[in-house]
């Protein structure tokens, strides 16, 4: 493994840079690549912080399709250092985040206002070179200016936050609604906070790790339960046995999906937010959906929500969370730490030397 002392100083900006590329499942490499130049309509940024997410871990294990070789990193905050021809509203020195998903614009989904369902979706850090590198180019259309002075390690959380905001759009939680959030990792905590901001009357968080249950209280949960210790019974008791108007599965597994169905009130909505393993299955009684008039909804990525994530980020209280950050050269350590099982709510890479 290369030590960080071997990394070139980017400010001199020679013709090469260090980048972490995915070649095949189990095969990630730190490599020297040519520094990309922005084409018309693009900007180049120096990623200062880039989040590692479940998707990266899935790509590494071969459980999620990605291009190869490709520079990973789709949760990126950085400083613009070159602006391509024709770009308006962005200048060198701006702190920005990248909304990583791009769409074809020509399919039925794109043409009916549902671009995120585009079968030709192409994402920076998955299909196109992303932010685990000293430099990255992106279309100015997907680059968003952040308040200057914001810590880049927080700024890059705009991407997962934008996905959570879409989840909120999908639920349409009302003032006074009762909500169960399953899981209190970064995503569960963000959804708990958003649920509170949306005016929920009762929020219960279900989470097996004690320190995360504490975080859930800080992020707005009224009650926390341990799913391994009679958690379902306690959660139901909080609703006088009725169940919850909304159940958010922020974990993504067969077990949490079944739990979500069981915990919903009559007429309740289940939001499938967490990404379950692609081939996992769950058993549901259609009678339940019928007789209890349940609604099951998915929430996928972040259509039209990154702008709102930028506005909302400062109100999320994310500075309370522990972020564990590694230099780019220590990417293997970072991948070993994902998913975060310690006190850290997020693992990030810091691509600049
Ligand atoms: Zn992600
Ligand atoms: Zn399309």
Residues measured by CB to lie within 5 Å of ligand 2, the ion? 103-104, 107, 110, 118, 120
For residue 13, pLDDT over 80 is answered with no
How is 245-312 classified by DSSP, letter by letter?
A: EEEEESS-SHHHHHHHHHHEEEEEEEEE-S---TT------HHHHHHTT-EEEE--S-TTTHHHHHHH
pLDDT band, very low/low/confident/very high, at 323 (cuts 50, 70, 90): very high
For residue 6, pLDDT over 60 is answered with no
Domain boundaries, the chain: 4-157+316-350, 162-298
Class of domain 4-157+316-350: alpha beta
Q: How far is the CA of 243 from the centre of ligand 1 (A)?
A: 31
For the domain spanning 162-298, the CATH number is 3.40.50.720
Q: How far is the CA of 58 from the centre of ligand 1 (A)?
A: 11
Q: How far is the CA of 163 from the centre of ligand 1 (A)?
A: 9
Average pLDDT, the chain: 93
The residue annotated as part of the active site, out of 55, 102, 192, 195, is 55
Give the pLDDT of residue 340: 64
pLDDT band, very low/low/confident/very high, at 222 (cuts 50, 70, 90): very high
Percent of residues, the chain, with pLDDT higher than 70: 95
For residue 254, pLDDT over 90 is answered with yes
Is 58 tagged catalytic?
yes
Q: How far is CA 115 from CA 52, 106, 138, 299, 303, in A?
A: 24, 10, 18, 13, 7
Give the pLDDT of residue 20: 97
- 3-state class of 169 per DSSP? helix
Give the pLDDT of residue 5: 38
347 beta partners: 52, 324
Q: Which ligand is nearest to the CA of 122?
A: 2
Q: How far is the CA of 104 from the centre of ligand 2 (A)?
A: 4
Q: How far is the CA of 337 from the centre of ligand 2 (A)?
A: 35
Q: Which residue has the higher pLDDT, 281 or 3?
A: 281
Give the pLDDT of residue 208: 95
Q: Which ligand is nearest to the CA of 161?
A: 1
Percent of residues, the chain, with pLDDT higher than 90: 87
Q: How far is the CA of 230 from the centre of ligand 2 (A)?
A: 45
Give the pLDDT of residue 7: 40
Is 305 tagged catalytic?
no
For residue 10, pLDDT over 80 is answered with no
Give the pLDDT of residue 1: 31
pLDDT digits (tens, 9 = 90+) for 161-194: 999 999 999 998 999 999 999 999 999 999 999 9
pLDDT band, very low/low/confident/very high, at 144 (cuts 50, 70, 90): very high
Q: Which ligand is nearest to the CA of 114?
A: 2
Q: How far is the CA of 46 from the centre of ligand 2 (A)?
A: 29
């Amino acid at each position: 493994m290369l030590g960080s002392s071997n990394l070139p100083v980017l400010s001199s900006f020679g013709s090469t840079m260090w980048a972490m590329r995915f070649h095949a499942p189990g095969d990630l490499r730190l490599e020297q690549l040519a520094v990309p130049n922005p084409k018309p309509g693009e900007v180049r940024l120096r990623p200062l912080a880039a989040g590692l997410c479940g998707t990266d871990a899935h790509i590494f294990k071969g459980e999620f399709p990605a291009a190869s070789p490709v520079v990973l990193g789709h949760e990126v905050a950085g400083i613009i250092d070159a602006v391509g021809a024709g770009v308006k509203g962005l200048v060198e020195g701006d702190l920005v985040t990248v909304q990583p998903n791009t769409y074809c614009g020509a399919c039925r989904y794109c043409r009916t206002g549902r671009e995120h369902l585009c079968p030709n979706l192409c994402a920076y850090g998955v299909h196109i070179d992303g932010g685990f590198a000293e430099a990255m180019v992106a279309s100015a259309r997907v680059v968003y200016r952040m308040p200057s002075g914001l810590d880049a390690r927080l700024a890059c959380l705009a991407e997962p936050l934008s996905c959570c905001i879409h989840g909120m759009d999908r639920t349409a939680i009302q003032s006074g609604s009762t909500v169960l959030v399953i899981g209190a990792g970064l995503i569960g905590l963000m959804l708990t906070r958003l649920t509170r901001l949306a005016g929920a009357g009762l929020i219960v968080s279900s989470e097996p790790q004690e320190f995360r249950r504490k975080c859930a209280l800080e992020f707005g949960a009224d009650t926390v339960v341990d799913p391994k210790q009679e958690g379902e019974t306690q959660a139901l008791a909080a609703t006088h046995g009725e169940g919850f108007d909304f159940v958010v599965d922020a974990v993504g597994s067969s077990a949490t999906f079944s739990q979500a169905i069981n915990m919903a009130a009559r007429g309740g909505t289940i939001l499938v937010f967490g990404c379950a393993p692609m081939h996992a299955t769950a058993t549901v009684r259609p009678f339940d959906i019928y007789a209890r008039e349940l609604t099951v909804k998915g929430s996928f990525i972040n259509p039209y929500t990154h702008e709102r994530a930028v506005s909302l980020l400062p109100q999320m209280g994310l500075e309370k969370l522990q972020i564990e950050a590694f230099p780019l050269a220590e990417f293997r350590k970072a991948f070993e730490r994902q998913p975060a099982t310690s006190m850290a709510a997020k693992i990030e890479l810091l691509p600049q030397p």
